[in-house]
């Protein structure tokens, strides 16, 4: 916002969800029109309604990715979990090479708001976490894990995640789910990681 030649910067604390499609270039290369059609359908039927239900604001899309801002970290995490659960149902019965799978990163941090877009370290960390997530998985910052565990009505269940080499991750990653959200039965299906960045 400009005031007398100066740009006024608005800052706020936000929960940021960054997501992208794993293997997007491969999917587009194999079937461009089909992939774009599936993505439009997924946005309309799965992602956009879940974002709205959890009071998120879609900041922007980037072809295969999206950036969403939430006022509550709990809403951001619940949204991510429901998106991944919805995608798992949608992908059941589809050949692995044709599946549209999202990687999601969530961070809580200070953001700079300008013309409806958000910038800053909080956004950058969410994007780095998204890159660390497995296809169909969620990777969260330690701050997200701490904030959601503290706000839960029941204790969190914490377990170590495994890397593709089946050894425990050496960078302090942990997964978690709150029993209060009824997620314990879904642990084997969700791949959730937390990183200290």
Q: What is the pLDDT of residues 23-57, one digit of tens each?
A: 999 999 999 999 999 999 999 999 999 999 999 99
Architecture of the structural domain at 2-195? 2-Layer Sandwich (3.30)
**Residues 88-138 pLDDT 10s:** 999 999 998 999 999 999 999 999 999 999 999 999 999 999 999 999 999
The token duo for 18 is 């960054």
Per-residue model confidence as pLDDT tens digits over 145-193 = 888 876 553 333 333 332 332 222 333 333 433 222 333 223 334 445 5
Both tokens of 161, joined, read 């995640």
What gap in Å lies between CA 166 and CA 190, rounded to an integer?
17
Three-class DSSP category at 20: strand
């Amino acid at each position: 916002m400009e005031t007398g030649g100066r740009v006024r910067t608005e800052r706020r604390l936000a929960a940021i969800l960054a997501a992208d499609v794993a293997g997007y270039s491969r999917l587009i290369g194999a079937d461009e029109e089909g992939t774009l059609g599936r993505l439009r359908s997924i946005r309309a039927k799965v992602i956009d309604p879940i974002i709205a239900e959890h009071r998120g604001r879609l900041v922007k899309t980037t072809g295969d990715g999206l950036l969403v801002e939430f006022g509550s970290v709990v809403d951001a995490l619940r949204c991510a979990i429901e998106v991944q659960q919805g995608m798992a149902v949608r992908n059941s019965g589809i050949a692995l090479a044709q599946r549209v799978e999202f990687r999601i990163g969530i961070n809580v941090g200070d953001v700079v708001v300008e013309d409806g877009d958000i910038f800053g370290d909080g956004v950058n960390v969410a994007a780095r976490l998204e890159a660390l997530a497995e296809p169909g998985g969620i990777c969260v910052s330690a701050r997200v894990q701490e904030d959601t565990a503290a706000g839960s009505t029941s204790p969190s269940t914490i377990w170590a995640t495994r890397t593709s080499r089946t050894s425990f991750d050496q960078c302090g990653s942990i997964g978690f789910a709150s029993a209060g959200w009824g997620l314990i039965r879904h642990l084997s299906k969700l791949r959730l990681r937390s990183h200290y960045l």
